[in-house]
Chain A
């Protein structure tokens, strides 16, 4: 099992979710985060004081998947999120040691989907 974590541009979230639905990947968690990579932050000015390199708004998407869904998920995210510009984001694939469905107590691959 793997946990896929993707950091995305907020405007691309809708497209990514649509692409994931097409691959029948329905279970996900989305959160608002701040971050930056190569994309420098905006400059803000307050009463003459300049502040550069502010963190930008991003969206974090987390999906737990069984092995055979890893590549389809990655491709779906890329299809939805890619624009070609700096700031498109990143996908991290982490090993997932265990997954438990709270309602039924199921574990492992059955609990993921």
Chain B
């Protein structure tokens, strides 16, 4: 039975999550790169919004959520939305049109490959990127999504909890990002030349839009305008705030000054970590999760990355991969059935099994994503080439990939 309140909220949530890709992520990443690459960076987000919107309707939704095959993938029975109607599908959401659930999930499918772009910023060929995104979405996102959320998916059956996509979105893309950073290699001049963010106001604007949109990402995953959505909303904001503060305090202590980039990065890390947990944990638990993920991600980004020297340019792995893993495991610690009776209790509330299930889910997604991403990159490198030539990297991707310039030379 369709509930108009639920439907209205999920319609809005769909729009909120769309906004997270463009303009949210586009600005967040765009401001972090050098001036000569800003358009190319934003183009990657904008392009994936258009591309995946179509892929999802044609075969993506069917593979991710369609009739189960071997607990691994959905069939193509719903190709072109055949069989997907206005009538609710109780496997997924009992009070909203099935088509609305489909388009809401589309926005998750859109943003996931967009997150990976942070790892290979400023050096990837656009044509190869286009092919990579389409194939990665089909071969990595759609299966993992099916495992965790699809009816019949093996992780769903095992009881792994992922409220809004900690594993499906952040771990899958975050670990793929690390693989990309290692396979593509460092930017020319990394470590020697200055590569500071060229427009931090854009980055902060992007981070704020991400926070705003994340209410649709997490609270919308309650799939209804109900109490669970309220719990998820509060947990989301709380984790973001706690993580933002923690990162700023860490910087204050370690570097001497808190930075706004640190505050924004911390907040995003908090949002990533609460994503799998939002509809299962209390507000106080959300504070702990925010503090915890900020410490871990700060270490990953400001210590480990510098020590090992890999060029995960915009910290896609450091924030999304690491943060998503922290979140998936934290769900295993802090989940409480009194918040969500369809969930479970975590370790701190008397149940050690959930933590193990969460670890299996996270581990499986990682291994699969690493393997497929690596093979895909190697094939594309042989057939098309992954990186732009050195001279093009020096001139910049805006001019060489798109023949456009972001800012005129004269004011």
List residues of A whose CB falls within 8 A of some B CB. 44-51, 54
Nearest chain-B residue to A54 (Cβ)? Answer: B194
Q: Is the CB of A51 within 8 A of B298?
A: no
Stretch at the interface among B136-144, B157-165, B168-176, B254-262: B254-262
Q: Is the CB of B301 within 8 A of A47?
A: yes
Chain A neighbourhood of B196, CB < 8 A: 44, 46, 51
Separation of A49 and B301 alpha carbons in the complex (Å): 9
Q: Is the CB of B194 within 8 A of A48?
A: no
Q: Is the CB of B306 within 8 A of A46?
A: no
Q: Is the CB of A45 within 8 A of B257?
A: yes
Q: Is the CB of B197 within 8 A of A48?
A: no
- Shortest Cβ gap from A52 to chain B (Å): 10
Q: Is the CB of A45 within 8 A of B301?
A: no
Nearest chain-B residue to A48 (Cβ)? Answer: B302
Does more than half of chain A's interface fall in helix, strand or loop, or is it mixed? strand
14 of the cross-chain contacts (CB-CB < 8 Å) are: A45-B251, A45-B255, A45-B259, A47-B261, A47-B262, A48-B298, A48-B301, A48-B302, A48-B303, A48-B306, A49-B306, A50-B255, A51-B194, A54-B194
Nearest chain-B residue to A51 (Cβ)? Answer: B194
Separation of A51 and B259 alpha carbons in the complex (Å): 14
Q: What 1/0 mask marks residues of chain B from 183 to 208 whose CB sits below 8 Å from any chain A CB? A: 00000000000101100000000000
In chain B, positions 229-285 with a C-beta closer than 8 Å to chain A are 251, 254-255, 257, 259, 261-262, 265
**Given A51-B194, A54-B194: A46 and B261 interface contact (C-beta under 8 Å):** yes
Chain B neighbourhood of A50, CB < 8 A: 255
Q: Is the CB of A48 within 8 A of B255?
A: yes
Known: A47-B261, A48-B303. 20 other contacts (CB 8 A): A45-B251, A45-B255, A45-B257, A45-B259, A46-B196, A46-B197, A46-B259, A46-B261, A47-B265, A47-B301, A47-B315, A48-B254, A48-B301, A48-B302, A48-B306, A49-B302, A49-B306, A50-B255, A51-B194, A54-B194
Nearest chain-A residue to B318 (Cβ)? Answer: A47
Separation of A29 and B180 alpha carbons in the complex (Å): 49
Nearest chain-A residue to B411 (Cβ)? Answer: A32
Chain B neighbourhood of A48, CB < 8 A: 254-255, 298, 301-303, 306
Count, chain B residues at interface, CB 8 A: 17
In chain B, positions 294-343 with a C-beta closer than 8 Å to chain A are 298, 301-303, 306, 315
- Shortest Cβ gap from B189 to chain A (Å): 13
Nearest chain-A residue to B262 (Cβ)? Answer: A47
Chain B neighbourhood of A44, CB < 8 A: 196
Chain B neighbourhood of A45, CB < 8 A: 251, 255, 257, 259
Separation of A12 and B99 alpha carbons in the complex (Å): 64
Nearest chain-A residue to B298 (Cβ)? Answer: A48
Separation of A48 and B257 alpha carbons in the complex (Å): 11
Chain B neighbourhood of A51, CB < 8 A: 194, 196
Q: Is the CB of A47 within 8 A of B194?
A: no
The 7 closest A-B pairs by CB, nearest first: A48-B302, A47-B301, A45-B255, A51-B194, A46-B196, A47-B302, A46-B261
Nearest chain-A residue to B314 (Cβ)? Answer: A47
Separation of A49 and B191 alpha carbons in the complex (Å): 10
- Shortest Cβ gap from A10 to chain B (Å): 15
- Shortest Cβ gap from A95 to chain B (Å): 29
- Shortest Cβ gap from A34 to chain B (Å): 12
Separation of A47 and B300 alpha carbons in the complex (Å): 10
Nearest chain-B residue to A45 (Cβ)? Answer: B255
- Shortest Cβ gap from A110 to chain B (Å): 31
Nearest chain-A residue to B197 (Cβ)? Answer: A46
Separation of A48 and B305 alpha carbons in the complex (Å): 10
Nearest chain-B residue to A32 (Cβ)? Answer: B411
Separation of A50 and B191 alpha carbons in the complex (Å): 11
Chain A neighbourhood of B194, CB < 8 A: 51, 54
- Shortest Cβ gap from A35 to chain B (Å): 15
Separation of A54 and B196 alpha carbons in the complex (Å): 11
Separation of A51 and B306 alpha carbons in the complex (Å): 13
Separation of A68 and B259 alpha carbons in the complex (Å): 52
Chain A neighbourhood of B265, CB < 8 A: 47
Chain A neighbourhood of B251, CB < 8 A: 45
Chain B neighbourhood of A49, CB < 8 A: 302, 306
Separation of A71 and B286 alpha carbons in the complex (Å): 70
